[in-house]
Chains A and B, each alone.
Chain A
């Protein structure tokens, strides 16, 4: 069974640019969550999508946005990139996102801002 797939694996951007990251969940999983991982802040929740709707949101500025398609694939967009946005962005999927359904992570997209 294929796991969570994230593309691209690595990305280099400059300040002010925007970026779109992609996540394909495990087949049958409808909930997709995004996390930012940095050495200083650890793993922080960005948002969760279920049935093409954003269901939950963490404490990140509006520059961070996402969407989910009818096939449950999700994209995350960051606009006006800042140096501090350099991080590993992880996507996780679960069946419906309810308790009792643990999330499974992809290997992430490492974003570097120059």
Chain B
């Protein structure tokens, strides 16, 4: 099946710094989504992208759907301690097919 390559695997940053992570695929996706998962909980949807080139913000988070449809990035500005968690990208590429493919996740640690 299609693989999503997510990088970096982990990040250790200082509070206040900006963060950038990305996902690439060898195949095209029609929808890109970004989720955050904290210990003991399920993934929570952060941003959904539906159109190539789309740039969407949610507070301090900004995500873009790559023009080629094969990549997406997520930026977090002015990080705070509660940003700690694992961030996953996910892609969907078939109408009516709820088979999402996930990246392996980026584990974010924020030092106060």
Give B68-105 interface residues, CB cut-off 8 Å to A.
Answer: 88, 90, 92, 94-105
B24 interface residue, CB < 8 Å from A? no
A100 interface residue, CB < 8 Å from B? yes
The residue that A100 contacts in the complex, of B40, B50, B104, B105, with Cβ under 8 A, is: B50
Q: Is the CB of B48 within 8 A of A102?
A: yes
Q: What 1/0 flags go to A56-96 for Cβ under 8 Å of B?
A: 10110000000000000000000000000000001010100
Interface range on chain B (Cβ under 8 Å from partner): 20 to 34
Q: Is the CB of A42 within 8 A of B105?
A: yes
Q: Is the CB of A98 within 8 A of B96?
A: yes
Residues of B near any A CB (own CB < 8 A):
1, 30-31, 33, 35, 40-45, 48, 50, 88, 90, 92, 94-105
Residues of A near any B CB (own CB < 8 A):
4, 6, 31, 33, 42-45, 48, 50, 55-56, 58-59, 90, 92, 94, 97-100, 102-108
Of the A-B pairs whose beta carbons lie under 8 Å apart in the complex, a sample of 26, sorted by A's number, is: A31-B98, A33-B99, A33-B100, A42-B103, A42-B105, A43-B43, A43-B88, A45-B101, A55-B96, A55-B98, A56-B98, A56-B99, A98-B95, A99-B31, A99-B50, A99-B92, A100-B31, A102-B33, A102-B48, A103-B33, A105-B42, A105-B44, A105-B45, A106-B42, A107-B42, A108-B41
